[in-house]
Structure 1
Amino acid sequence: MYQPNPAADVIWPPTDLWSDEPPMESDWHRKQMQVLIESLESHWRDRQNFYCSGNLTIYYSLTQRKSEDFRGPDFFVVLGCERRERRSWTVWEEGGRLPNVIVEILSESTAEIDRGLKKQIYQDVLRVPEYFWFDPQSQELCGFHLVEGQYEPLEVSESGRLWSGQLELFFGVPEDRLRLLTADGTVIPTPMERALEAEQQVLQEQQRAVQAEQQVVQERQRAERLAQRLRELGLDPDAL
């Protein structure tokens, strides 16, 4: 836990700092980050005690506006805090709370730093309980949890997923994209996916209704043809 240590000669940074992150490297990175944020916020829509974001600066030093050694993670989750929008995550304004989970999406320009320097910072400075990285090119998914101050690899499940004890959810890679999954392996949908699924269900119900109506019409037509045939044979179908 971050412990403030005020001193008379400390120049406190402003408390309304804006995030100072570079733009995402590609549309793919932006969409990947967004799907993690939207799916978790949707899954925890009834919870008010967490914050998740991505590519947002985390300010954790009392004497610096930002650290040259650390920029905002691609995705991070803080537990036990107020759920509201923020310009940045400023630790000394959040009761010393630091991320519980961090995920980095690797690229050619960031992979070495994400695997090395950032991992070291998350372990030794921010003390992040769980750190994951995902390489969209090779589909490599790695995860670590803090054990006695050191990162230990998380055990990979038979299905290739990694369990987050902090989130009580899996990270997995269905259809070549990093997703959050429930304990039973169900992919957590984004609001748009949830809406599309509901729309598809409505369409399927409408199709079933149309098919049922068509079947009724066909049965009625068969009954009418049979009645007509009986009349041609001199029989009264209503008397049968």
Structure 2
Amino acid sequence: MTILADFPPEAVVAEPIPLPPTQDELPSDDGEPMETQRHIMQMSLLIETLEYWLKDRDNGYVGGNMFVYFSMAQVRGEYFRGPDFFAVLNVPKKERKSWVVWEEGKAPDVIIELLSSSTARHDKTQKKLVYQNQLRAPEYYWFDPWNAEDWAGFVLRDGRYQPLELDTHDRYVSPNLQLALVRWSGSYREVNTTWLRWATLEGQLLPTREELVKQAEQHAMQAENNLEQEKQRVAQTEQRANQAEQRAEQLATKLRALGINPDE
């Protein structure tokens, strides 16, 4: 049997094991734009509102239309396209160029794809299988910004995606986020349509920046109105007090004219 000591020292050379690439070494842009402006706005609406929600929590990350790396085979095959939206809980809050599973230690908890005529079939089949079998994301949803009736939700059970049922409020409840995905008809960035939005389980929509500003303005206006009403109430009270004092003085004058000392 040959043992290591039988080799001359110069023959024993330890070859370094290559480490997997970091997010700084991996591509973060494939040069392919989003499908339409509506898709960009829908993605922004989901990201923007959930980011504000996470500000009140210790950790978590929200991303969209950025690469999610989960295996070296994916890197070698240059399969870089990431989901339109994803959220990860229990990770540090910091900026990322891409989401690298072997660096972060976990895959996204929630993934949402925004459908289009050119991507719908791929998102509903091949991408769904990738998220199920390779990434093993606990939750997967799709939504068509141009056709709000085309939406679905899935949760990973026993290694396979099982369809989520809409609850009695016609919404999907995220088991991980404990938030609801709802279809909301209204105006976002001056576009009036049906949007996919996050809401609390009590039915309160997670607000956008614009809505937060409006709420702050309304609160300030209400506070100003309350202050004005209080000033008016104080002025009315002072006026009534002055009138009462004048009537008392008039009565005292009449009593003195009758020879009665009002102070007694």
Distance 1:206 1:70, change over 3 A: same
Distance 1:157 1:173, change over 3 A: same
CA offset at residue 37 of structure 1?
1.3
> Partners of 1:62 and 1:69 in 2: how far apart?
10
Give me the identity figure in percent: 44
Q: Say whether the 8 Å CA contact 1:12–1:62 is kept in structure 2.
A: yes
CA offset at residue 58 of structure 1?
0.7
Q: 2:75 aligns with which of 50, 65, 73?
A: 65
| Between 138-147 and 67-76, the greater mean CA deviation after superposition | 67-76
Q: Residue 21 of structure 2 corresponds to which residue in structure 1?
A: 13
> Partners of 1:48 and 1:98 in 2: how far apart?
19
TM-score (norm 2): 0.72
CA offset at residue 205 of structure 1?
3.8
Q: 1:76 aligns with which of 86, 97, 118?
A: 86
Q: 1:164 aligned to 2:182? A: no
Q: Say whether the 8 Å CA contact 1:102–1:132 is kept in structure 2.
A: yes
Q: Residue 138 of structure 1 corresponds to which residue in structure 2?
A: 147
* RMSD, matched Cα: 3.3
Structure 1 spans left out of the alignment, 5+ residues: 1-6, 221-235
1:66-215 to 2 correspondences below 5 Å: 67-69=77-79, 71-95=81-105, 97-140=106-149, 141-175=151-185, 176-207=194-225
Compare relative contact order (CA 8 Å, sep 6+) and give the higher one, 1 or 2: 1
CA offset at residue 70 of structure 1?
5.5
CA offset at residue 39 of structure 1?
1.1
* Higher CA-based Rg: 2
> Partners of 2:36 and 2:90 in 1: how far apart?
32
> Partners of 1:201 and 1:237 in 2: how far apart?
47
TM-score (norm 1): 0.79
Distance 1:120 1:34, change over 3 A: same
Structure 2 spans left out of the alignment, 5+ residues: 1-14, 186-193, 239-249, 254-264
Q: Say whether the 8 Å CA contact 2:69–2:80 is kept in structure 1.
A: no
